[in-house]
Amino acid sequence: MSCSLPSKQGDIGLIGLAVMGQNLILNMADHGFTVVAFNRTVEKVHQFLANEAKGKSIIGALSIADLACKLKKPRRVVLLVKAGSAVDSFIDQLLPHLEKGDIIIDGGNSEYQDSERRCKALQEKGIRFVGSGVSGGEEGARYGPSLMPGGNKEAWPFIKDIFQGISAKADGQPCCEWVGSDGAGHFVKMVHNGIEYGDMQLIGEVYHLMLALGVSQDEMANTFEEWNKGELDSFLIEITKDILRYKDSDGQYLLPKIRDTAGQKGTGKWTAIAALNYGVPVTLIGEAVFSRCLSALKAERQKASSVLPGPNGKFSGDKRKFLQDLSQALYASKIVSYAQGFMLLREAAQVHNWDLDYGSIALMWRGGCIIRSVFLGQIKKAFDADKNLRSLLLAPFFIDAINKAQSGWRNVVSTAVTLGIPTPALSTALAFYDGYRSERLPANLLQAQRDYFGAHTYELLGQEGKFVHTNWTGHGGNVSASTYDA
């Protein structure tokens, strides 16, 4: 490709000038990088250059060809467009203007299978593809996001300085490191978003219980503020406090006016689907996704509320003590949620041969992202202490933390049932914990039932690996069906 070179070339290009794209460009410019900006609607480029980008090291591009012409080699182009076909479309438009060794970076919330496909297809054309998770919302993009790049590792040396330069920092370390090959970056981001779903659902259930206790909204805000000074210190706890305190123009709290139906963009659902595909019991994130689905049944719930009976009991205990128990239930459930998320990461890494550094991933989430919290520092320490740790629940710190929290946790779940307050995430976290710590589960009965009606065979204790079938009725025959482990 030939073109007349401009007097100043860009270090990196970015396509997509929605708020996230603009903020990321401004962040790059603030860190000394020259950015070439392009948007399908060219007028948006002119507006950006005349306003937010004015006076900064930002160059406008009027076409894909113009964008490619204005970039240093190897060209580095970030796509911040809607996941799916739009990403493929822009890649197709870029390819005629790129050369071997150039780099395309997808910074959207793409499915990791798409990133795997794109990485392999572009590698055959000599183009290095990176699928990078970007977390932190608009503010993170502007002042320091958490970045999770994966894909063709040959691209990493050419984007490392930019990515680590603009990322958030935790204890002086960039919240950005190379994750792994193919779709690893977007898989890690997907699990991050799934944990985010779980955290938000847990906080919502705590809020619901506080309402049932008759806690005033101001008292709720004070409670969350206090929690944010301790082991629950996190971004989501902090913003919940701010939301609870926010008043509308009429002087009334805004939160009770908001319709109680929640939408989703898909990453939480993808995490739940991946958990089923890989056979990992990521139950809390699954419940968080289903809870959003249930919230969407607003009309049905309104009708059901008038006809379906429930308990009439009111809370009569020590409210202050119960609030302490709530903090313990929330903390213990968060531990379970992260433990499940890292179990999913470990299983996917084995299947795809990704060399994931779990301590590094925890560090990437320490700052700049929605699930950032001091809690993640202990996760990093746990994996630093034992690289082969099978579950966070087996790390000494978390064993001790749950031991201290479980009395309050159990009280919260049992009280919620008595009051008729749904706590699917808090409850499933406790159920998973009890299941995980059980030496024996009733799956032996499941195996007997499956063999009874389908001759699917079972293993006897002490004879693992040998599958046998029983003629349970005397007339069922001795021929067995295929064995399966689902």
* Model confidence at 413: pLDDT above 90: yes
The arithmetic mean of pLDDT across residues 427-436, rounded, is: 98
The arithmetic mean of pLDDT across residues 362-375, rounded, is: 84
Domain-located, residue 2: no
Q: Which of 154, 178, 202 is the last residue of a domain?
A: 178
174 and 262 fall within a common domain: no
Tokens of 274: 């991946």
Give me the residues paired with residue 176 across strands: 147
Among the listed residues 44, 111, 177, 189, the single catalytic one is 189
Using one digit for the tens of pLDDT, what is the confidence trace for 436-469? 999 999 999 999 999 999 999 999 999 999 999 9
Per DSSP, 484 falls in state -
Residue 427 φ/ψ region, left for φ over 0, alpha for ψ in the -120 to 50 degree band, beta for the rest: alpha
First to last CA, the chain: 53
How far apart CA 290 and CA 425 sit, in angstroms, is 10
Q: Which of 298, 272, 297, 274 is nearest to 197 (CA)?
A: 272
* Model confidence at 473: pLDDT above 70: yes
* Model confidence at 1: pLDDT above 50: no
Exposure of 358 by Cβ count < 10 A (0-12 exposed, 13-18 middle, 19+ buried)?
buried
Exposure of 236 by Cβ count < 10 A (0-12 exposed, 13-18 middle, 19+ buried)?
buried
Using one digit for the tens of pLDDT, what is the confidence trace for 31-55? 999 999 999 999 999 999 999 999 9
For the question of residue 189 being annotated catalytic, the response is: yes
250 and 389 fall within a common domain: yes
Q: What integer pLDDT is reported at residue 477 of this predicted model?
A: 67
- Of the chain, the percentage scoring pLDDT greater than 90 comes to 87
Among the listed residues 111, 196, 205, 287, the single catalytic one is 196
Measure the CA angle with vertex 145, ends 130 and 24; round to 5°: 75
Q: What integer pLDDT is reported at residue 483 of this predicted model?
A: 59
Residue 420 φ/ψ region, left for φ over 0, alpha for ψ in the -120 to 50 degree band, beta for the rest: left
For the question of residue 287 being annotated catalytic, the response is: no
346 and 381 fall within a common domain: yes
- Mean residue pLDDT across the chain: 93
In one-letter notation, the amino acid at residue 207 is Y
* Model confidence at 5: pLDDT above 70: no
We report the CATH number of the domain holding residue 410 as 1.10.1040.10
Helix, strand or coil, per DSSP, at residue 130: strand
* Model confidence at 307: pLDDT above 80: yes
Give the structural domain span for 462.
443-485
34 and 87 fall within a common domain: yes
Domain-located, residue 3: no
Residue 7: band (very low, low, confident or very high) from pLDDT cuts 50, 70, 90: low
Q: How many domains does the chain have?
A: 3
Residue 369: band (very low, low, confident or very high) from pLDDT cuts 50, 70, 90: confident
Using one digit for the tens of pLDDT, what is the confidence trace for 74-116? 999 999 999 999 999 999 999 999 999 999 999 999 999 999 9
Using one digit for the tens of pLDDT, what is the confidence trace for 110-162? 999 999 999 999 999 999 999 999 998 888 899 999 999 999 999 999 999 99
Q: What integer pLDDT is reported at residue 486 of this predicted model?
A: 52
Which residues participate in the annotated binding site for substrate?
109, 135-137, 192-193, 197, 265, 292, 450, 456
Tokens of 199: 């955290």
Q: Which of 178, 203, 234 is the last residue of a domain?
A: 178
| Reported pTM | 0.91
* Model confidence at 256: pLDDT above 80: yes
366 and 251 fall within a common domain: yes
